[in-house]
A = this chain, B = another copy of it.
Amino acid sequence: MNNFVYRNPTELIFGRGQLSALAEKINQHGKRVLLVYGGGSIKRFGLYDKVMAILAEQGCEVFELAGVEPNPRLSTVHKGIALCREQKLEWILAVGGGSVLDAAKAIAVGVPYAGDVWDFYTRKAKPQEALPLGTVLTLAATGSEMNKSSVITNWETREKYGTSTTFPAFSILDPEYTFTVPRDQTVYGICDTLAHVFEQYFSHTQEIPLQSRIAEAIMLTVIENAERVLQDPENYDARANLMYCSTMALNGTLAMGVETDWATHSIEHAVSAVYDIPHGGGLSIIFPNWMKYVYRENLPRFRQFAERVWQVDSAGKSDEEVALEGIARTRAFFERIGAPVRLRDYGIGDEQLDVLAHKAVPFGPIGRFKKLDGDDVREILRMSL
Contact = CB atoms under 8 A, between A and B. Distances in A.
A1 B244 contact: yes
A6 B15 contact: no
Contacts of A209: 220-221, 224-225, 241
A205 to B, nearest CB: 11
Interface residues of A, number: 41
Interface stretch (A75-83, A211-219, A282-290, A376-384): A211-219
A13 interface: yes
A346 B14 CA distance: 44
Contact of A207 (B7, B237, B257): B237
A12 interface: yes
A5 interface: yes
Interface in A221-260: 221, 224-225, 237, 240-241, 244-245, 248, 253, 256-257
B12 A7 contact: yes
Contacts of A14: 1, 3-6, 256-257
A184 B52 CA distance: 59
Nearest to A218: B210
A11 interface: yes
The 9 closest A-B CB pairs, nearest first, are A3-B15, A213-B217, A207-B237, A7-B11, A9-B9, A6-B12, A210-B221, A209-B221, A1-B240
